[in-house]
Structure 1
Amino acid sequence: MRRQQMVASAICRPAHFVLATLLALTNVARAEVGVAQVMSALEEGYFDSPPGVPNFHLNNNNKDYLYLADIENPSGSAWRLVAEGPNLIDKYNVLTGDYVRVNYKNSSTASGSRRLLSDEPLPEIDSIDVISESEGHEIYTGTQIRVKSMIYIISTCGWAPSATVEQIKGTFFNNTNNIAGYHDTCSYGKVAFDPSENFVFGPVEIPCKGTVTNGVLKYPYDASVACGAAEQFAWRQYSEAAARAAGYGAFMASSQRRIIHILPREVRCPWAGLGNVGCSGSYCIVYIKGAYAQDLTVNMHELGHTQGLSHAGRGYDEYGDFSDVMGTAPSEGYLCMNVGNQYRVGWNKPLATLLPDNTTNAPGNRGVAGRWVLPPTAATDTNALYLRYNINGTPFPNIFVSFRSRTSRYDNALATYMNNRVFVHNFNGSATERDYNRTLLVAVMAAGDVYTSPFLGNTTFDDSGLGVKIRVISIAAGTSATVEVCRLTEKVETSCFDGDDNDCNGLTDELDPACAMASSPPPSSPNVPPSPSKSPPPSPPPPISKPPSPRPPPRPRSPPRSPLPPPRPPTSPPPPPQLKASKAPRFPTPPQKPRPPRPPPPPRPPPRRPSSPRRPRMPTAPTRH
C-alpha cells in the first residue's frame, strides 16, 4: 500500500486513473502490506434452535473475515476485505494487529487496493507473511486486566437506535446480571470491566450512504443494502469523530481499547455479532446487531473473542458446547468459560497435571485408577485435572476434567442437564496470545458414568498404547465430584500375568474375561513349572481314577476320543466296558486276533513294535511330571 500511494503521488493522477492502472496489472502476482483485522462472526438464523436457545447458531459453517488496513494510518484509513471463510486465524497464522504482507497468486480478478466487500470474487491469496506480530496483554499473569471501551449506540438510514443509553448501561453495568459482573465472576476477579473506564455514548446519527477513504482512493458505502467492510468502517469512523467532539479524545488514546457498536435492528448484517480475535495495538472492534443489543451472552461472546478466545465446540459443531459462552448459551445469564478456555487466558490453575506415566494412576501402579476429588469451578480457580498427554510428539489430545455446579451468579445460565455434572474437554492449547486451538467437549457425566478415550497405539512410550478411562464415583451437589482416572496401556487385556489391569476395566489378569482362556504363564514367570518338551517315558498308564478329568468310555459304534485321527470301529460290537478297565480309555487297543482292525489313516505311521506300541502323550497328564 505504501508503494501504491507513492506511485499515485509521482504521476499526479486522479483516483480513477490509479484504479485503472491497478486493473491493468491484474495478471501480475502482487503483494501488499498492511495491518490485519481478523474478525469472527457469531452467525444467526440458520437452523432451528432447541427450546430456549437463541437462534443465532450456525453449526460448522461459520465465517471469519480478514481485513487489511493502511500501515501508515491504521486507525484513520478504511480497511479492505482480503479473505473470508472458516478458520482464517489458523489457516494464515495471523492475529488482529499483526503487520502482514499479503501475497496474491496470478489472477485476472485481482483488483488491488480497490477491493471491498462486494459481489466480485476475492483475489486468490498465495500466502500471508507476518512481518511483525501484535503485542497483546489479554493473558492474566498476576496483574488484573482492566478492559477499556467506548460503547456507541448508532442510528442510520432512518432506523431508530435499538436501545437507549440507560438500557445499554443496564446491560453493561446496572442490571442484576451485567457485562461487568460477567467478567468479574467468570475470571475470578482477574478481569475488570469498570464503568469508570467504559463509556456508553449516543445515539450517533450516521449518514446512510457516503464514501470512506484509503489514501487517495475513495470507497462508496450504502448501509441500506450492505454490511461490508466499507459500511463497518463508516460506522466506526463517524462514531469516533462524535466522541472526540464530545471531549473523549484523551481517553480514546488508550491502548487495547474496545470500540463496541450497538447497531439498529434493521442493518443488513448476516450475524448476531462480529468481533476482532485478539486486542492489541490501539484498539479492537465489536459490532452487535440491534436484536441482540441487550443480550448478555452475545455481547460476552464477542468480548471473549477480543480476549483471544476461539469457539467452544462439540462433535462437528463448532458452537456445540452448551456449557461455554464461546459455544452456545441455552439462556440469558452468566455462562462461564469451560476450564480449557479459562486455562487459555490464565484464569485458572490445574488441580493436578498428570503425565502419561505412573502419575496418571496411583504411584507405581499403572493399572490402578487414581482417585481425585474435584471442587466445583464456581468455588475456586484451582479447579481441573489436566491430563497432559500431548507430549513427545504423541498425537493424543490433552484432557481437562472438571465439575460444574450452578450458583446464584457463577454459571447461573447453565442448563439443568449439565448442572452438577463432570465435564471432559479436549484442548491442546496453551496460555499464550498466539494460540488458535479450540476446546472440544467430549463428555458430560453423572455419578456412575464412564468415559473412555480413543485408544492410540504405537506410541513412543514403552507401553503398547495410550488411552484413559474416567469414572465418576460420586457427586455431592454443589460440593464436589469424586472421579477415578486410569491410564490404559492395552485396549483389551493381553498381558495376563503382569499383575496390572492394563485395559482399566477393573479386572486384573485371570479375573478379566479376555484372559480366561489364556495359556499358562511363560517359563520366565516365577514359581511356574516349564511346559513339557518331551513325550512321557513308556510306563503303565495311571489308574482310571487318577487323571484330573477322566472321560467315560465311548458308546458302542462311537470312535474313541484321541488327539490323533481315530481308527475305524470294528464291525462287531466292542467288548463290555468293564473288560477294558485296565487299559487307558483314551488310547487305541493293540491288534487282536483273529480279525485285526484296519490300519489307521495318515498321518500316523504304523507302530514299530506291534506288541507294545508307543502311546501318544496325553495333553491332560502333565501332572505326572
Structure 2
Amino acid sequence: MAAWAPTKLGIILLLGLSWSCTALGSTNDVTCPFASWRAAIIALSSTTACRGCDFEDCVLSCQRCAFGLPAAVDLRTCPKTGTPRIYLTPTGLVCIQKGGVRPVAGLNGTAPPPVQLFGPPPPLEVVTASVSDAEVQVLTGHDRPKDLVNLLDMDEVAKTEEYAVLLSQKVDNATDFVRQVASSATDKLTANLRTGDVIDLSVTATVSGSGRRRHLLEAAHGSRRSLLDFSSLLLGRGSLNISNIQLKRTNGGKDFVVGGKPVNITSLTFLVRMCGKELNFGPQDIQKIYFNKFAGSGVYTLQRQHEVCSFNKLLFPPETNLIFGPIDIPCQATVTSTTTDANNTGGKGTVLKLPMYQYDMTKACNDVEKYGVWELAKQWLQQNQPAVYANIRFYKRKIVMLSFADKCEWKGLGNTGCGDGHCLSWHRVPPSYIAEGSWGANSPDMTALFHELGHNIGLNHASRVYSTPGLNTSVYGDVTDPMGSGYPDPTRVKAGPVCFTAPQAYKAGWYSPIDNPDYLDPNLDGVTSADFNLWTLQAGRMYTFTVPSMHLSDKNYIRISLDTLNNVKLQSAVFLSYRVRQGPGGFDHAMRPAFDGAVMLHEYNGTASAKPDSVGVMTGLRALLRPITGRIPDLQSNIQQFEFVKSYRSPKYTTGPEPSWLVARVVTTTADYKIAAPPKQVKVGLCRANIDAFTAVMANEETCNDDFDRDCNGVIDAEEAVCERFRFRRLLRERRTTS
C-alpha cells in the first residue's frame, strides 16, 4: 500500500513506531496559534479518535489515537495562513491548512513504515479526567422564609437546611470557576472536606450523542484538565461525578483572630436588581446600617456589632468594606469566562472564552444560578469600577443581596469558612417575616447577614440540646446566639447587637477563659485556672468560681475539657458563661429579656483553629441557671420550654480515668440577685461526681464520716439518710473520747 487512507475495515495502525512531533526547523521563536486546550482540540479532526490529550508549551500530546499509540505535534508548525487543522497520518499528528494534502511519507522524506489494518476504538460512554489543586467550598443555608410564618417551626426548618460542597479553581486574577459536587452532609466521599481544603481528584461524566461535544469529551478522557475545561463540555447536559480524592493542603481562616491581634474584614457588597425587580433600599441605606459614622451613637451598625462583640479584635471599617449598586442582572443568561491571562491548561496569550454558567433564576436556584449572578455582578464591577476590580482578591468577602430569588428557599446562604477563593454569601430581600417585623422593609435582615458572616469566619450553627432523653438536638435552637435562632428583642433590634456565646467566640478567637479565677476555697487541689480538665477536680468537692458578665472583659468564661488529649484545642468541653444586657449600642443590648442575667452552660466538640468544623459539629446549649427558677416558652420550637434551674447535672462522661458527672450550681442567693437588674457577677459552684447516687451499699464507717459529697447533690455523704447508723456510732466514739 503506497498511501495512507481510511478503509471500510478500519484505520491503518502503525506498529512499533515511536510517535513524535512533526517539526521542520526551530519553532522556539514562533508564536503559538492556539490559546487553550479547547481551541487545539476543536482543530483536531474527529477522525484521529485521539484520547487523553494534553496541551502544554504549544505541544498537543495524546495518549492514544486511532492507530493505538501515543501521538504529538508541535502546533507552532501550523501554517500561518488559512484555518489550521490537525490530522493523523502514518508519521503521527500533523497540523496543515484545512483541506490541504496530508503527508504520507515518513519523517524527513523517508518511506512510510509497514502498516496493518486496525479498527477505530469504540465510542466511550464514560470519560474520566484528573483535576489538580481544586479548593473545597462548603455552603450552609439559613432559615427558609416560607417556613417562618408562626415562629413555631424552626426544627422543621432545620430538616430542610441548605448544604452544598463545591470545588473552586482560579481562572485568572479575578475569576474562580465553581462547581457543586455534593448536597448532603452525610455524603461519605465529601463529609470530611472543609472549606479551604485543596485536593486532587478524578472527575467523571457520561457521554451521549455525537459531534463536537463527544469529540471534546473523548479527547479529555484520561488527561489532566481544569474544572472549567471539563465542566464547560457539560454545560446544560450531564452531571459531574468525583472520586479518588487526595488532600494536599488546607487554606483557610482568613478572618480568624490569633493571639488577640486585630483583623480588618474586607468585603464588597452588591445590591442586585434581579429581573427588573426594585430593591427597597440603596447604598446610602446600607451605609447607615453598616457604619458608625453614618448612623450616630447608640444605634445598631454592623461595624459596632463587630467592635463590641469581638472586643475590637475583628473590625468592619468603611475603608475596606465597599458597597455597589443597584446592579441590573437578567433572570436568565449564559455567562462566559472573561479571562485574558494564560490559564492552568498551559495556553499562552488570550484564553478562549468558555461557557461557565447557564442559569435561569425563574426556574431554579442551583450552583449555576448563584455563581452565574455573582459572575455578572463581578463583570459589572470590571466595567464600572476597574480599580476595585483589579484588586478584587484584596476584598475577601463578597455579599450579594438579591431583589428576586423566588426559587431560592433560604434567607441567607454563605461559605462556611473562607479559603483562597472568593468568600461569598447571598441574601434574599426583602427579608423574611421575622425581619420585616423588626428591621423594617427598607433594610436587609442584619441578623441573617451577621449570621452568614459568622459562617464566613468558620462558625457552624448554635444548637440546643434538650434535657429530655430521646429528643433530637435542635439545630437552630440556641436563641441566645446569632448562629442559632438568636433573633433580637424587636424593641431593641435597631439599638444594639446580640453577641456570640462563649464556645462560638472561643472558636472565632475572640474570647478566652477567665484570667484569675476567684475561689472561695483556694486550698482545693488541682485547679489553677478557669481552663481545666474535668478529672482535675477532686471528686465530691465543690469548687466555687466568681463569673463576671461577659461584657466586662474578653476573658469571660470557664472551660472544662472532657477528655485527656494532650492538644487542648482538640478536646470536647463544657463552657460556662454569664450574660447581662447593656445599654444602647452595648454588649448583648438586643438579647431577649428572658435570658438577661442567666448563666449559660454549653457543650462544644469543635476545635479552636482556623479550619472550620464539619457541619455536624455545633455548639449546644444544655442548661440555663440562675438563683430564681422558672420556665418560659421556646418561641422557636414547640418541643420543650426553656427552664431556669439552680443546678444542672450533666450526662455521664466516660472519656477520663473514671466515669464522672459534672454538676453546676448557682451559689449566689436570691437576696443578692434581681431579675430586673442582674448583678455584674455571680458565684457558680462546680463539682465532679464519680457516682450517680450515694446509696446504702456505699455507706460505711469511712464514707459516712468524711466531708465528701460524692454524688454532688449538695448534701455531704455523712448527712445522707443512709449514713444515719454510722453517724450514731461516730457520736458514741466522740463521747468516749471526750469522757
TM-score scaled by length of structure 1: 0.72
Q: What does 1:397-546 correspond to in 2, within 5 Å?
A: 397-408=572-583, 409-436=586-613, 437-447=617-627, 449-457=646-654, 460-461=656-657, 464-474=658-668, 475=673, 477-493=678-694, 495-496=698-699, 497-498=702-703, 499=706, 500-513=708-721, 515=723
Q: Is the 8 A contact 1:274 1:287 kept in 2?
A: yes
Partner of 2:261: 143
Match runs of 1:559-574 below 5 Å? none
State the AA in 2 paired with 1:68. L
Residue 268 (structure 1) shift: 2.5
**Match for 1:297 among 426, 443, 447?**
447
Q: Which amino acid aligns with 2:193?
A: V
Q: State the secondary structure of the residue aligned to 1:271.
A: coil
255-264 or 28-37, which deviates more? 28-37
SS at match of 2:602: strand
User: SS where residue 557 of structure 2 aligns?
Assistant: strand
Q: Within 1, Cα distance between the matches of 2:723 and 2:124?
A: 73
The answer to whether the aligner puts 1:64 opposite 2:169 as a matched pair is no
Q: Structure 1 pair 284/460, CA: closer, same or farther in 2 (3 Å)?
A: closer
| Counterpart amino acid of residue 161 in structure 1 | L
| 1:319 correspondence with 2:527 | no
Q: Give the stretch that moved more between structures: 379-388 or 165-174.
A: 165-174
Of the three residues 197, 207, 212, the one matched with 2:330 is: 207
Distance 2:171 2:582 in 1: 49
The count of residues paired between Structure 1 and Structure 2 equals: 508
**Aligned partner of 2:511: which letter?**
N
In the alignment, does 2:331 pair up with 1:231? no
The equivalent residue for 2:349 is: none
Identity between Structure 1 and Structure 2 (%): 24
Deviation at 1:480, TM superposition (A): 1.1
Residue 310 of structure 1 and its aligned partner are, at CA, apart by: 0.9
Q: Hey, what does 1:366 align to over in structure 2?
A: 539
Aligned to 1:344: 507
Structure 1 residue 508: Cα displacement: 2.7
Do the aligned partners of residues 319 and 502 (structure 1) sit closer, same or farther apart at CA in structure 2, a change above 3 Å counting? same
What CA deviation, in whole Å up to 9, does each residue of 1:9-54 have, x standing for no partner? 3453699x99x99997564666544232221111313545665x99
Pairwise CA distance, 1:482: 1.2
- Kindly report which structure 2 residues correspond to 1:89-104, keeping only aligned pairs within 5 A, or say none: 92-103=191-202
Residues 383/32 of structure 1: CA separation in 2 closer, same or farther (3 Å cut): same
Q: Give the equivalent residue in structure 2 for 1:192.
A: 315
Question: Do 2:647 and 2:663's aligned partners in 1 also have CA atoms closer than 8 Å?
Answer: yes
Residues in 1 aligned to 2:44 and 2:454: alpha-carbon distance in whole angstroms: 45
Bigger helix fraction: 2
Question: 2:162 touches 2:410 (CA, 8 Å); kept in 1?
Answer: no
Where relative contact order (Cα < 8 A, 6+ residues apart) is larger, the structure is 2
The more displaced of 141-150 and 486-495 is 486-495
| 1:309 match | 459
Structure 1, residues 39-71: CA drift from partner, whole Å, max 9, x if none? 1111313545665x9989822432211222335
Structure 2 gap ranges (5+): 1-35, 54-121, 209-216, 218-229, 338-352, 432-442, 466-472, 515-528, 629-645, 734-739
**Cα pair 1:372 1:482 within 8 Å, conserved:** yes
Say yes or no: does 1:168 pair with 2:325.
Answer: no
Aligned CA distance change for structure 1 residues 479 and 133 (closer, same or farther; 3 Å): same
1:262/1:217 Cα in 2 relative to 1: closer, same or farther (>3 Å)? closer
Shift of 1:106: 9.7
The Cα offsets for residues 371-390 of structure 1, whole Å up to 9 and x where unpaired, read as 11111112211110101122
Amino acid at match of 2:558: L
Which shows bigger deviation, 190-199 or 168-177? 168-177
Cα distance change on mapping 1:48 and 1:165 into 2, 3 Å: closer
Contact kept in structure 2, 1:81 and 1:116, CA below 8 Å: no
Partner of 1:377: 550
Deviation at 1:153, TM superposition (A): 0.7
Query: How many Å separate the matches in 1 of 2:713 and 2:43?
Result: 80
Q: Which residue of 2 aligns with 1:241?
A: 379
Distance 1:354 1:184, change over 3 A: closer
Once residues 357 and 97 of structure 1 are traced to their aligned partners in structure 2, the CA distance between those partners, rounded to angstroms, is: 33
* Cα shift readout 1:322-376 (whole Å, capped 9, x = no counterpart): 010000123345111100010111111101435346743xxxx531211111111
Give 1:98 shift.
Answer: 3.1
Amino acid at match of 1:490: I
Determine if contact 2:154/2:476 at 8 Å carries over to the other structure.
Answer: no
CA distance in 1, matches of 2:571, 2:719: 30
Give SS of 2:451's match: helix
SS at match of 1:355: strand
Structure 1 residues 277 and 480, CA gap change in structure 2 (3 angstroms): same
Q: Measure how far apart 1:396 and its partner are.
A: 8.8
Structure 2: how far apart are the matches of 1:355 and 1:118? 56
Contact 2:255-2:265 within 8 A present in 1 as well: no
Conserved? CA contact 1:256–1:281, under 8 Å: no
SS in 1 for 2:660: strand
Q: Which amino acid in the other structure matches residue 402 of structure 1? A: S
Paired AA for residue 485 in structure 2: T
- The answer for unaligned runs of 5 or more in structure 1 is 529-625
The one-letter code of the counterpart of 2:497 is: Y
Counterpart for residue 598 of structure 1 = none
Residue 273 of structure 1 corresponds to 412
Displacement of 1:82 = 0.8
CA drift of 1:507 comes to: 2.4
1:9 aligns to what? Answer: 40
Show CA shifts across 1:402-434 (max 9, x none). Answer: 001111221122112211101000012232012
- Residues 239, 358 of structure 1: alpha-carbon distance in 2 compared, 3 angstrom cutoff: closer
- Decide which moves more: 84-93 or 146-155: 84-93
Equivalent position of 1:609 in the other structure: none
- Which of 85-94 and 74-83 deviates more? 85-94
The match for 2:175 is 76
1:129 offset after TM fit, Å?
2.9
Q: Normalising by structure 2, report the TM-score.
A: 0.62
- 2:693 aligns to what SS in structure 1? coil
DSSP 3-state at the match of 1:286: strand
State the distance in 2 between where 1:155 and 1:118 align.
25
1:247 CA drift (Å): 3.4
Instruction: Tell me, yes or no, if structure 1 residue 44 matches structure 2 residue 144.
Output: yes
Query: Aligned equivalents of 1:478 and 1:90: distance in 2?
Result: 51
Q: What CA distance in whole angstroms lies between the structure 2 residues aligned with 1:492 and 1:119?
A: 65
Assess if the C-alpha contact under 8 Å between 1:27 and 1:108 holds in 2.
yes
